């Protein structure tokens, strides 16, 4: 007579585990392309966010808010990227405490060279495995969740109605 394990079979637990395992597994599948370029996932994420931002630049604190990193984490990622010539710091003219992380030409080129392989990976292991309907349903569910769970996910992104660019 073993201890009862049924308590640990709650569907909520299963759902959470499913999400965690799927994400971890997917990440493992797309890693090789990234690491082949000498980047960590964090490096790649930061570079991509810079590339997508106006002026290829983002405040350190915005980067921290957008990524899952602490501000000290951002400091060190940008240190690394700067040492490899992929990003640079620029002091903010309007606030001398602040700094921008700016994508360099080399950083942009590296990212561009990675992109097609990365998109293939995503297609192979994620978007291409689902029917259009399934993918839509997945993405809209995820959008709902993200909206609740990540209030500050768009820090540093100029709002459409805002003082553009």
Q: Interface with DNA by CB under 7 A: which residues?
A: 40, 42, 59-62, 64, 68-80, 89, 92, 95-100
Tokens of 113: 């060279």
Burial classification of residue 34, based on how many CB atoms lie within 10 Å of its CB (0-12 exposed, 13-18 middle, 19 or more buried): buried
Beta pairing partners, 99: 91
Residue 158 is a binding residue for a copy of itself (CB under 8 A)? no
Return the number of the residue (76 or 109) whose C-beta is nearest DNA.
76
Return the number of the residue (19 or 91) whose C-beta is nearest a copy of itself.
19
Q: How far is Cα 10 from Cα 145, in angstroms, rounded to an integer?
A: 20
Residue 72 is a binding residue for a copy of itself (CB under 8 A)? no
Helical packing angle, 41-52 and 71-83, nearest 10° = 90
Q: Of 86, 116, 90, which Cα lies nearest the Cα of 104?
A: 86
Residue 37 is a binding residue for a copy of itself (CB under 8 A)? no
CB of 40 to a copy of itself, least distance (A): 14
Residues that bind a copy of itself (CB under 8 A): 2-3, 5, 7-13, 15-16, 18-30, 45, 48, 51-56, 68, 108, 111-112, 115, 118-119, 122-123, 125-127, 129-130, 134-135, 137-146, 148-150, 153
């Amino acid at each position: 007579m073993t201890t009862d394990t049924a308590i640990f079979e709650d569907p909520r637990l299963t759902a959470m585990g499913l999400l965690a395992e799927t994400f971890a597994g997917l990440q493992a599948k797309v890693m090789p392309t990234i690491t082949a370029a000498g980047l960590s996932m964090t490096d790649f994420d930061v570079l991509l966010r810079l590339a997508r931002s106006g002026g290829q630049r983002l405040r350190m604190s915005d980067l921290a808010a957008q990524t899952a990193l602490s501000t000290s984490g951002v400091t060190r990622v940008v240190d690394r990227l700067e040492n490899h010539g992929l990003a640079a710091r620029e002091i903010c003219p309007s606030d001398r405490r602040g700094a921008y992380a700016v994508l360099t030409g080399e950083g942009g080129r590296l990212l561009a060279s990675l992109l097609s392989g990365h998109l293939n990976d995503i297609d192979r292991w994620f978007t291409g495995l689902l029917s259009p309907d399934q993918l839509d349903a997945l993405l809209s569910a995820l959008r709902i969740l993200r909206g609740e769970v990540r209030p500050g996910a768009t820090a540093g992104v100029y709002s459409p109605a805002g003082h553009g660019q």
